[in-house]
Amino acid sequence: MPSELIINVTSQETRIALLENGVPTELFIERQSGRGTGGNIYKGKVVRVLPGMQSAFVDIGLSRSAFLYVTDVYDDSDDLELMMGGARSDEDLGEEKDLVAARYSSQIEDVLHEGQEVIVQVSKEPLGSKGARVTAYISLPGHYLVLMPTVDHVGVSRRIENEVERKRLKEIVSRSKPPGVGFILRTASEGKTEEDLSMDMNFLLKLWEKIQHKRVSAPAPSVIHSDLDICLRALRDLYTKDLEKVVVDSEREYRAILEFVETFMPQLKHSIELYDADEPILDAYGIEVEISRAMGRKVWLKSGGYIVIEETEALTAIDVNTGKYVGKGNLEDTILRTNLDAVKEIAYQLRLRNIGGIIIIDFIDMAKEGGRERVFHALKEALKKDRARTNILRISELGLVEMTRKRSRENLSRVLCETCPYCEGRGIIKSKTTLCFEIFREIQREAMNVPSNVISVSLHPAVADFLYEEERYVVEELENRLKKKIIIKVKSDFHQEEYEIESS
């Protein structure tokens, strides 16, 4: 399907939207104060080895130490061949290493020790309270190829389905590459000539040679190779034959993009446009509205139903409801129609919000097995457009789908939002009724422990109003029973759940 890249650049942040058929499907946001580290290569120092977790913490110069798992430092050639044999896509690099984890027998303490210097690459950026995950399996992505300097293997992206083309591409690279290194042919390599592939290969090999020279003299910890900036990285990683246009609103970035495409993808040169209209670029393409929509819990469906998306630290739960949709036939048809409508929106929201990890989808219960199968297959089909790797289990009898989606960077809500300082991330606070009852119990405890005849209660204005209006008779009852005067003091700077009880 036709796609466009819309790039908004300011001095504070860069925002990039991938549009498919005019609809934003992926968003990338990078701020100057928090530039991404994904793909960067570091010379690090092992600061702690954890035999019980078969992992190590590596200081790479970031605020938190990076996490290095034992399979990411393994170097046995037989297992590497098994590991990379299934790596048919550049999107799957790194994931395939988990396939041999069960076979792996070496211990982390046998291959790493504290103080040891290591060359590692960030495979997953810091997420929440976790540090970056790093790997010793270096991969350098180009436009058509991904260089794997530590693995002697040639693979082809799974998105290239034509077996004749896969064989042709693999033969070209196999006879051109130096011994001892490996390459993955990216989706963009489909149909390209040997000259195109050789040019990309030579560039990546020279880049790796430069990195090797730098690591000799670089101190630990330090960065010895930074990936491209977000604009050029988006062009490199999102370019396909369907990309029709790249629109950018910064003249400086426009020139940088032109220089990049003239070198690496000249066929795209005439598709680069400088946006100079008065209306903000993301407003003009309807992207700001979608960003705001992606911040909400509830998303309405075209049928009148809706989905609710709840993100937690452990997983993301998605609930499907019929909402305003009452259907025109029987109940089962109404439920099936709502679930199928929800499938498209769920697949879209997962990409737009970049939700990863464990995902539980609670579809409306369907009595018929045929309906459950239709919804399951519709979900699998909708997720085929997703570049992130997904794994889906069949719908259970309770109407639940369990799935995972590869997570390599922060999701949209973590980038754009912060934990509410008022509710501290719970999403709820105690009701005024609950707070009043707590206060009454605390007054009784205070009255038992002190001889004073006056008890003062300081609390939030909203709770004070509720107490005066709804619970005044309880206050009077307490005063009569305890033989003490209760004075209410309003504190406008208090949190709604905050109160203080004092005797005087």
Q: Whole-angstrom Cα distance, residue 156 to residue 173?
A: 10
Number of Cβ within a 10 Å radius of residue 504: 10
On the question of pLDDT at 392 being above 50, the answer is: yes
pLDDT at 33: 67
Span of 108-112, 315-319, 459-463 with lowest mean pLDDT: 108-112
pLDDT at 98: 41
Residue with tokens 């009148």: 304
Between strands 13-20 and 3-9, the pairing is antiparallel
The pLDDT tens digits of the residues spanning 275-309 come to 999 999 999 999 998 888 888 889 999 888 899 99
Give mean pLDDT, residues 253-273: 87
pLDDT at 328: 67
Give mean pLDDT, residues 200-222: 90
Give mean pLDDT, residues 305-315: 89
**pLDDT category of residue 339 using cuts at 50, 70 and 90:** very high
**pLDDT category of residue 355 using cuts at 50, 70 and 90:** very high
Q: What is the pTM of this model?
A: 0.76
3-state SS, 46-97, equals EEEEECCCCEEEEECCCCCCEEEEHHHCCCCHHHHHHHHHCCCCHHHCCHHH
pLDDT at 43: 92
pLDDT at 157: 87
Percent of the chain with pLDDT over 90: 42
**pLDDT category of residue 105 using cuts at 50, 70 and 90:** low
The pLDDT tens digits of the residues spanning 410-428 come to 888 888 888 888 888 888 8
On the question of pLDDT at 187 being above 60, the answer is: yes
Tokens, residue 474: 């309880």
The pLDDT tens digits of the residues spanning 16-28 come to 999 998 899 999 9
One-letter amino acid at 325 equals: Y
Number of Cβ within a 10 Å radius of residue 48: 12
Q: Whole-angstrom Cα distance, residue 409 to residue 155?
A: 25
The full set of domains in the chain, from first to last, is 3-33+231-288 (3.30.420.60), 39-226 (2.40.50.140), 297-416 (3.40.630), 432-503 (3.40.1260.20)
pLDDT at 363: 93
pLDDT at 362: 94
Q: Which residues pair with 361 in a beta bridge?
A: 318, 401
Sequential DSSP letters for 206-266: HHHHHHHHHHHH--SSEEEE-PPPHHHHHHHHH--TTEEEEEES-HHHHHHHHHHHHHH-G
On the question of pLDDT at 477 being above 80, the answer is: yes
pLDDT at 191: 86
Tokens, residue 197: 């592939």
